[in-house]
Structure 1
Amino acid sequence: MPMDAYDGVKFAFKIVSDVFFREIKVSGAHHVPLEEPCIFIVAPHANQFVDPGMVIISNPRRFSPLMAQSSFKRKIIGAAARALKAIPVIRPQDLATKGTGQLVADKESNFILNGIDTKFTQETGPRDLIVLHKTLKFEVAEVMSDTQLRLKVELNEEALQIIKDETAYKIIPHIDQSKLYEKVHERLDEGECIVIFPEGGSHDRSEMLPLKAGFAIMALGAMAENKNLKIKIVPVGLNYFHPHRFRSRAVVSYGAPITVAPELVEKYAQGGASKREAISKLLDEGYDGLRSVTVNAPNYDTLMIIATARRLYKPAAEHKLRIDQVVELNRRFLLGYKYFEKDPRLVDLAQRIKAYNNTLKYFGLRDYQVSRTQTTMYSAAPVLVSRIIKLVFLAIFGFPALLINSPLIILTLVISQKKQEEALAGSTVKIAARDVLATWKILVALVVMPLLYGFYSFLLFMYLWKHSFNHAFGLSLLVWAALPFIQYICGLVLENSIDIYKSLRPLFLSLSNPDGAAELRIMRENLSDTITTFVDENGATALSDFDIHKFDNLELKDQAESRSFLKDVKISPPNIQKWFDDRHLFNFNTDESESE
C-alpha cells in the first residue's frame, strides 16, 4: 500500500523522535477503541511541536488535530498540518490589536472605561476583551460611545492603578467558534477521530492547567445532533523526563476511554443551566481521566521529593523498572503524598529528603551514583583508569561531530533561547518557558542541518573540481546524503562519552574522600529504610490497590546489569535493531538511564 501524506508525516515524526529521544515507551494503547469516533484529550501540553508528534507515532488510530490557525502560516508546521487534515482554530489572542487613543478611569463607576481620542464604536464590540496588562483583561458589556465603554465586571485595584494616568491598551476580539464546532461534528459523524490539547497553550509547569471546555462541548454537541453517534473520549498523558533536552526519555500513556453518558447529552440539549451542568460533569470526567495517566505535582520541589522517594523505596530500587513503570510509580507516590501531606511523619520525611538532596548537590552526585562510591582504592583505581581511557577513545571519535555541527549547535541555542524569552514575556502560565526550547531546537535543526551539510558538500565539490576529479559532483552528493547518518553515529559516540564522564565522579569521591562517601551511603540507607517502612505500613490506606509484593516477579537490577552483551543472542531483526540502539551500540551500561 503506497504511503499517503498522513503516513509521510508519521514517518517523519518517527525519525525526528528517534533522533531527539533516547527512549519512547507507549503504555495503554490497547485502550484505544478501533471503531468508534474518538476525541483524544492530551496533557500536559509541554511542547508545541513534539507533543502532536508523540501522539501520531503512538496512536493506532488516524486523527485530525486541532491546531492554531496561525501555525498554518509556518512552512514546516503548516505543511504537516495540511497533510494531517488538521482543523484550524482561530485564537482570539492571535488577533489582538493596539487600540487607538488612551484609557482613563471613570470617577463615578468602576464599571465604566473612558477614552481619550479613542474609537470604541469602530474598534470594539460586546464580548471583546480590553487588555491593560497580560494578566488583566476585561470583557466589554456595552459600547456606549467612541469614548466610553461599560465593562461586564468592575475594574480591580491593580487595573485602577494602571489607568490612573492615561494608558495604552489592546483589544482582543470575540470570535464566534461555531464554524469550528461544525467541522469537528462533521469529522466525528464520519467516524473519524480528533486530537485536542484542552489546556490551551503549551506550558512548563509541574501540573496540568485548568482544562478548557471545548472537548466536552464538541462531544456533547455532536451527540445531541446525531442520536446514533457514540463518541469515546480517550485521555492521553505525555510524560517527559526532560522535555527540552536532546536525547531524553518519554512515556505516552493512554487511559481508559470515557463513555459520554446519554443523560448528559439530554441535559446538554435542554440548554441553560442543564447544559452548563452537563459540560461541567464531562469536563470533570476528562480531568480525572488525564490525572490517571499523568504526574501532577503542585510544584517542582514536591516533584523532586516524590522522585527521590520513589528511587529510595527498596522494592522498586532493587528491580529494573521500565520508564513507563517509573512514571506510574511516580504518580502513585504523588497520590500517597497528597493523602498524607499534613501528616507530621511525612512532613519530617520530606525535610530529610530535602536534606539528602542538598547533600548530593554538595558532593556533586546524583542519587544513583551513591552506591557506586562503595569501592576500595584498589578496586576503584583500575575502573577509573579504564573509563578515562574509554572516555579519551570515544571523545576522539565524537569530537569531529561536535566540531562539524558547532554552527548548528550555536544557532540552535541562540534562536531557541530568544524564542524562550519572547514566550516568557508574553505568557502568564509559563515558569521558564522551557516548553518552547525543544520545538525551536527541532525546527531550526530541520532547516539548518541540510543547508549546513550542503555547504560542506559544496566546499568538497569545489575542491574536487579544482583538482579535476572525474566524479566530483556525484561524490559530493553522496557525502551530503551520508553526512546525517555519519553525524548521528558520531553523536551517539559523544553521548556515551558524556555518560562515562558522569560516571567518573563517584570513583573520584571514593578515592579522594572515602569517609564522606561512607557517610553519604549511610544517610541514603537510613532514609531508604524509613521511606520503605512508611510506604509499606501506610500504602494501603492511601491506595486501595496497593500491593507490597508488586515487584516480586520483576528482574533484579544487579542481574540486569550483569548480563553480558552477547549472552543468549538470537539472530533476528528485532535483536539486530536492539544491537544498534544507542544503549547497546558501544557495550557500555550508561548511568544516565538510572538518573532519570
Structure 2
Amino acid sequence: MAYTTARLFSTVVTQTFFRDIQVIGQENIPKDGPLLLFGNHNNQFIDPLLIISNIPRKVHFIAAAKSMKRPIIGHLGKALGGIPVERPQDLAKRGFGTIQRIDGNMVYGLRTEFKSQCKVNDILVANEQEFQITEIISDTQLKINNHGQIDSPIRNLQYKIQPKIDQSNMFEQVWIELSKGACIGIFPEGGSHDQTRLLPLKPGICIMALGASQKFNTKVKLQPVGLNYFKGHKFRSKVIIEFGVPYEVSQELIDLYAKNKREAISNLLYEIESQLKTVTIQAPTYSDLSAVMIVRSLYLPDKARLSAQDNLELVKRFSSAFYKLENHPEVKEVVSQVKMYNYKLKALGVYDYQVMRMEKNTFQDIYKIAFNLFMALLSLSFALPGYIMTIPISLLLNTYTERERQKALANSKVKLSGKDVIASYKILASILIVPGAIAIYTILFHYALKKWNFISKEKQLKLTLIFFLLWPLYITAMIRSNDGLIRHSRKVKSQILFYLYQSKYRKLKKSRELLQDRIRKMVDMLGENVVADFKKKRVFSFDAKKDNLDIDNVFCSLEELGI
C-alpha cells in the first residue's frame, strides 16, 4: 500500500513538472527475476521518481543515507523500499589546523591532530584531490598514496577527512533482495551532476551483481535506463526515458570474480558504462549538445515525423559522430557553422523550426498572427488570475532553489552550475508551500465573503469549501493553459519579427538551406564511419522513389475501396 501510494505521488509530481514524458523500450523490462536497473544521474531526486512512475514492477533504489534522513524525501524513500548507503563524502569532517605541504607521499601539518582525527585507509581530501592514508606518524605527519597526483609541493591548505566505511551490510542486503528476485535501482555515477557526459562509474554495482551471482548462485540481469532531459531543470520541460536491452552477467566474469575480483569488476564496469552510453545522449559541452540538437533539426525535412525512439537514436548518432570524427576537417567545419547559426538564432530571438517554416504570404501571415494572438489572449485571460495568485509562491520557490543550488555547487567538485538540484528542490518546496498557499487563499476568500456579507453564513461556508476544492484543479488547468500561451506567443513573435527584419531572416533561411544540404552530404559521406552497414540502418531516408511508392499505394487502397 505504501509503495503504491508513493508511486502514485511520483506519477503526479513528474506529470505536473514535465510537459512531455516519452518512454522508449518498456517492453524490454523483465517481468520478474533478479534485476539491476542502472541509469545516469542528472536530476537528483527526480531521476528515481521518473523511473518508478514508468516501470511496471517494484524497484528498490539504492539511496544516500543522508537523503533518507531528510524530512520529505526520506519518508518517500522508505515508502518505496529504498536501501540506504553511507557515502564517505557525506561523513567528511574538516581537519584541524592546515596542511603545510605535501612532498611525495609525506604530508606535513601545522597544528593538526592526525592521530585523533585520522585512521589508516581514511581519505584525505586536499586541493580538490583524494589521497588514501597509509600510515599516521604523528599529529603533524602522515603518509599517503600519492600515485603521482601532485608533482610539485603544495602549501597551506585546508583539508577534510573522509572515513573508510564498511559497506558489507548494505551489499548483503542487496544480495538477499536479488536472490528473492527483486529489482534494485542504482545510479552508478554516485551523486547527481549537471555535466553533459557520464562521470566515472563507482564499482558498487559490479560487487552487487557479481557478489549475488557468486554467493546465492543467482543469475542477475542488468538493464540500462537513459534519462535524457531537455532543459530538465525547467518547469514544463521534456524528458525521454529509454529502457535498454537487459543482459545477464556472463559465467566467465563470475568465475573470474572468484579468482581476481579487481579484474572482474574492472571488466564489468567497462561493459556497464558502454551499455549506459547506448541509452543516453553524450556531448563534451553544453555548446556541443546544443549543436547536436540543431544538426538533428537541420538534417530532417520540414514534414518529417519520427517516433520518439527514432528521434533519440538520431540525436545519439550525431553525438557519437562528433566524438568519433571530432578531428575530421568536414565535421569541424560543419560544427563551427552550426554553432554560428545557433548564435544568430539566439540573437534574433527565434527557433530553428520557425526559420524553416517562414514563407511570405500576406493573407496567410495575417491570419496566423490574428489566430495565434487570439489564442494567446484567450489562454492569458484564463491563466491571469492564477499568475497573480502564484506570484508569491514563485518568488519563494525561486529564492529557495537558488540558495540550495549555490550550496550544492559549493559542496561539489563535479557540478558545473548546480542545475541538477533545481527541479528537486522546487518540488520539495512546493509540497510544503502549495498546501499552505491553498489554506491562506481559502481563509482570505472566506474573510472577503464575511466582510461583504451579501449571502448567508451557510452559503459562505459552502462557497469556501467549493473554493478550497476547486483552487488546486484551477491551478492545474492554468499550468496547461500556460503551455498554450507560450506556444502561441512564440508564433506571434516570430511572425512579427519576420516582417520587421525580412532581409535578415531571408539571409538566415538561405544560410540554413546551404547548411542543411552540407549536413546531409556529410552524413552520406561519413555515415559508414559511425554506423556499421549505414545504408540499411538509416533512421531516415531521402529516397524519392519511396515517396512515389507510398503515393501509388494510397491510390491502390482507394481503388480497393471502390473510389
Amino acid at match of 1:356: Y
Aligned to 1:152: 145
Deviations 1:10-54 (A, max 9, x none): 1111111111111111111221222220000111x1111110011
- Per the alignment, do residues 155 and 161 of structure 1 end up closer, same or farther by CA in structure 2, a change over 3 Å counting? farther
Indicate the larger mover: 122-131 or 95-104.
95-104
Partners of 1:90 and 1:504 in 2: how far apart? 53
Cα pair 1:130 1:138 within 8 Å, conserved: yes
Question: In the alignment, which of 301, 309, 319 is matched to residue 334 of structure 1?
Answer: 319
**Aligned-residue offset at 1:381:** 2.7
Equivalent residue letter for 1:25: Q
CA–CA separation in structure 1 for the residues paired with 2:466 and 2:77: 31
Residue in structure 2 matching 1:433, options 402, 415, 418:
418
- CA distances 1:545-592 after superposition (whole Å, capped 9, x unpaired): 434764469999xxxxxxxxxxxxxxxxxxxxxxxxxxxxxxxxxxxx
Corresponding residue of 2:557: none
Shift of 1:154: 7.0
In 1: Cα distance, 2:471 partner to 2:509 partner:
46
Taking a change above 3 Å as real, the CA distance of residues 237 and 73 of structure 1, as seen in their structure-2 partners, is same
1:461 corresponding residue in structure 2: 446
Query: Given that residues 21 and 247 in structure 1 are in contact (C-alpha distance below 8 angstroms), is that contact kept between their aligned partners in structure 2?
Result: yes
1:238 alignment counterpart? 227
Distance 2:325 2:188 in 1: 30
Q: Is the 8 A contact 2:401 2:422 kept in 1?
A: yes
On the 8 A contact 1:268/1:275 being kept in 2, the answer is: yes
Contiguous gaps of at least 5 residues in structure 1: 557-596
1:318: how far off?
3.2
- Secondary structure of the equivalent of 1:122? helix
Match 1:31 to one of 17, 28, 31? 28
- Residue of structure 1 aligned with 2:349, choices 364, 367, 372: 364
Structure 1 match to 2:432: 447
State how 1:91-490 maps to structure 2 within 5 Å: 91-105=87-101, 109-133=103-127, 135-153=128-146, 160-163=153-156, 167-227=157-217, 229-270=218-259, 274-314=260-300, 317-465=302-450, 467=453, 469-490=457-478
In structure 1, the residue matched to 2:560 is none
Q: Distance in 2 between matches of 1:71 and 1:210?
A: 22
In the TM superposition, what whole-angstrom CA distance separates every residue of 1:375-424 from its partner, at most 9, and x where no partner exists? 23343233223322332232122111111111111111111111111111
In 2, Cα distance between the equivalents of 1:335 and 1:363? 30
| Alpha-carbon distance in structure 1 between the residues aligned to 2:483 and 2:300 | 30
1:499 aligns with 2:487: yes
Distance 1:514 1:220, change over 3 A: same
TM-score (normalizing by structure 1): 0.86
SS of corresponding position for 1:470: helix
Structure 1's 215 and 396: CA in aligned 2 closer, same or farther, altered over 3 A?
same
8 Å CA contact 2:317, 2:530 repeated in 1: no
Residues in 2 aligned to 1:423 and 1:322: alpha-carbon distance in whole angstroms: 37
Paired with 1:341 and 1:141, the residues of 2 have a C-alpha distance of 42
* Cα separation, 1, equivalents of 2:530 and 2:138: 59
Choose 20-29 or 190-199, whichever is displaced more: 20-29
Q: After superposing the two structures, state which structure 1 stretch, 114-123 or 349-358, moved more.
A: 114-123
**Contact kept in structure 1, 2:314 and 2:539, CA below 8 Å:** no
C-alpha displacement at 1:226, in angstroms? Answer: 1.6
Q: Which residue identity does 2:121 align to in structure 1?
A: R
Q: CA deviation at 1:465?
A: 4.7
* Cα separation, 1, equivalents of 2:200 and 2:249: 20
CA distance in structure 2 between the partners assigned to 1:205 and 1:8 by the alignment: 33
CA drift of 1:219 comes to: 0.6
Residue 472 (structure 1) shift: 3.9
Show CA shifts across 1:76-113 (max 9, x none). Answer: 1111111111110101111111223333237xx54222
Q: How many residues were matched structurally? A: 541
Secondary structure of the 1:162 match is strand
For residues 160-206 of structure 1, give each alpha carbon's deviation from its aligned partner in whole angstroms, at most 9, with x where no partner exists.
4332xxx5432111111111111111111111111000001111111
Matched to 2:206, the amino acid is A
Aligned residue for 2:20, secondary structure, equals: strand
Distance 1:48 1:411, change over 3 A: same
Worse-matched range after superposition: 53-62 or 447-456: 53-62
Native 8 Å contact 1:118 1:146 kept in 2: yes
Report deviation, 1:158: 8.3
Structure 2: distance between partners of 1:329 and 1:184 = 37
Is contact 1:131-1:169 (8 Å) kept?
yes
> Given the two structures, how large is their TM-score scaled by the length of structure 2?
0.91
Name whichever of 430-439 and 547-556 sits farther off. Answer: 547-556
Cα distance change, pair 473–79 in 1 and its aligned pair in 2 (3 A): farther
CA distance in 2, matches of 1:158, 1:475: 74
RMSD of equivalent CA atoms: 2.3
Closer, same or farther: CA 159–128 of 1 in aligned 2, 3 Å = farther
User: Which one-letter code corresponds to 1:21 in the other structure?
Assistant: F
Query: Which amino acid in the other structure matches residue 386 of structure 1?
Result: F
1:397 and 1:493 in contact (8 A); partners too: yes
Letter in 1 for 2:478: C
Q: Equivalents in 2 of 1:552, 1:348: separation in Å?
A: 24
Q: Secondary structure at the match of 2:84?
A: strand
Q: What residue is the counterpart of 1:510 in the other structure?
A: 498
Tell me, in whole angstroms, the C-alpha distance in 2 between the residues paired with 1:374 and 1:553. Answer: 23
In 2: Cα distance, 1:118 partner to 1:300 partner: 42
Deviation at 1:474, TM superposition (A): 4.7
* C-alpha contact (below 8 Å) 2:43/2:193 kept by paired residues: yes
What is the rounded CA distance, in whole Å, between the counterparts of 1:526 and 1:141 in structure 2? 62
Deviations 1:323-364 (A, max 9, x none): 343222100122233333222222222222122222222322
Measure the CA separation in 2 of the matches of 1:168 and 1:365. 48
Q: Distance in 2 between matches of 1:267 and 1:359?
A: 55
Identity of aligned residues (%): 34
Partners of 1:537 and 1:15 lie apart in 2 by 46
Contact between 2:24 and 2:308, CA under 8 Å: does it hold in 1? no
Partner Cα distance (2:394, 2:10) in 1: 21
Q: Distance in 1 between matches of 2:459 and 2:23?
A: 47
Q: Distance in 1 between matches of 2:466 and 2:368?
A: 41
Distance 1:32 1:239 in 2: 18
Tell me, in whole angstroms, the C-alpha distance in 2 between the residues paired with 1:550 and 1:155.
47
Separation in structure 1 between the aligned mates of residue 279 and residue 149 of structure 2, nearest angstrom: 38
Q: What one-letter code is carried by the residue in structure 1 that aligns with 2:87? A: R
Contact 2:282 2:320 in 1 (8 A): no
Mapped to 1, the partners of 2:324 and 2:147 lie a distance apart of 39
Paired residue for 1:69?
A: 65
In structure 2, distance between residues paired with 1:538 and 1:100: 58
